[in-house]
Amino acid sequence: MDTLINAAREILETATAIACLTGAGVSAESGVPTFRDAQTGLWSTFDAQRLASQDGFADDPGLVWRWYMARLAGVEKAMPNPGHFALAELAWRMPDFVLITQNVDDLHERAGSGDVIHLHGNIARFHCNRCGREHSLQAEDRSASLPPYCTVCGSYVRPSVVWFGEGLPEDALAAAVDAMTACDLLLVVGTSGLVYPASELPQIAKWAGARVLEINPEPGPLSSMADICLRGPSGEILPRLLGN
Ligand code: BJW
Ligand code: ZN
């Protein structure tokens, strides 16, 4: 592993434009469950693919609401881990650094990262499922058995996250694609690479000539395009990569 870390550090030190794509794994060591990890992942307890969809919300809005309120409480309790801090430090060191996350938590921001591109939204924001009006969460909403109603149209309020079958925010996706074509190094951290269109981003960077470095304890579909795979938790590997 030391040889691989040293090789990766060399690539990092000579890179002039770095992009980083993170997934649920980067927050795992903060106690935020990943989606697909067999033992602890949200998918092992719930059919999250169903809950995170319009069909799931239509079938049982109360279940979906309570699931998100429980997850929001978990995110609020969680603290950034050394992986989040290392990425914030990398941004301070590198003038040309773009951080793109699929995560709906704010742990990158709380570690000091600014201008984070959120591809899948934000679990702490809410809007009407019909008219789109923003809703600020009230204390009583948190323990409610049903979602709050929109004050404009009376429909249910939902979390401002991207569900399956929904489009990603266009500006975020465009900025992510730009970063892929502009970078000479892409770090892919803690994502299974299973969810489209985020899963296509590393291929865009590769086609544009960037080197790709994967940090993940497990191999996945993105591993074959990585120049170096560092197998281990990002909370340990990222600080080592920075020489901390
Ligand atoms: C560690 C670690 C440690 C652990 N350190 N690492 C058929 C084929 C292809 C595509 C489709 C298809 N059918 C439908 C689609 C499209 C669909 C899709 O991709 N589905 C797949 C499941 C097949 N995508 C969409 O619907 C997207 N929209 C779209 O495509 O619109 C057009 C369209 C619509 C319909 C049909 C076709 C096109 C929208 C996707 C939105 C995803 N939303 C979610 C939920 C957000 C809200 C919420 O939080 O509830 O986003 S799903 C979930 O997955 C969440 C995540 O951001 C996302 C990615 O997951 P991530 O981050 O990779 O986490 P995990 O758990 O998968 O992996 C964790 C990783 O960490 C693992 O690798 C571990 O090893 C690692 N790890 N510990 C480092 N300590
Ligand atoms: Zn409304």
- Global pTM reads 0.97
Q: What's the confidence (pLDDT) of residue 104?
A: 98
Ligand 1 atom nearest residue 193's Cα: 63
> Percentage of the chain with pLDDT > 90?
91
Q: What's the confidence (pLDDT) of residue 170?
A: 98
Domains of the chain in start order, with CATH, are 1-31+80-120+167-244 (3.40.50.1220), 33-77+121-161 (3.30.1600.10)
pLDDT at residue 42 greater than cutoff 80: no
Confidence of residue 39 (pLDDT cuts 50, 70, 90): low
Nearest ligand to residue 134 Cα: 2
pLDDT at residue 183 greater than cutoff 90: yes
187 Cβ closer than 6 Å to some ligand 1 atom? no
Distant-in-sequence, close-in-space partners of 97: CB < 8 Å, separation ≥ 6? 17, 18, 19, 20, 90, 91
Ligand 1 atom nearest residue 42's Cα: 66
Span of 39-43, 89-93, 177-181, 224-228 with lowest mean pLDDT: 39-43
Residue in 160, 164, 189, 201 to alter for ligand 1 test, most ligand atoms within 8 A of Cβ: 164
- How far apart are alpha carbons 129 and 160 in whole angstroms? 9
Active site residue 120: yes
Written as one letter, the residue type at 194 is L
Q: How far is the centre of ligand 1, averaged over its atoms, from the C-alpha of 125 (Å)? A: 20
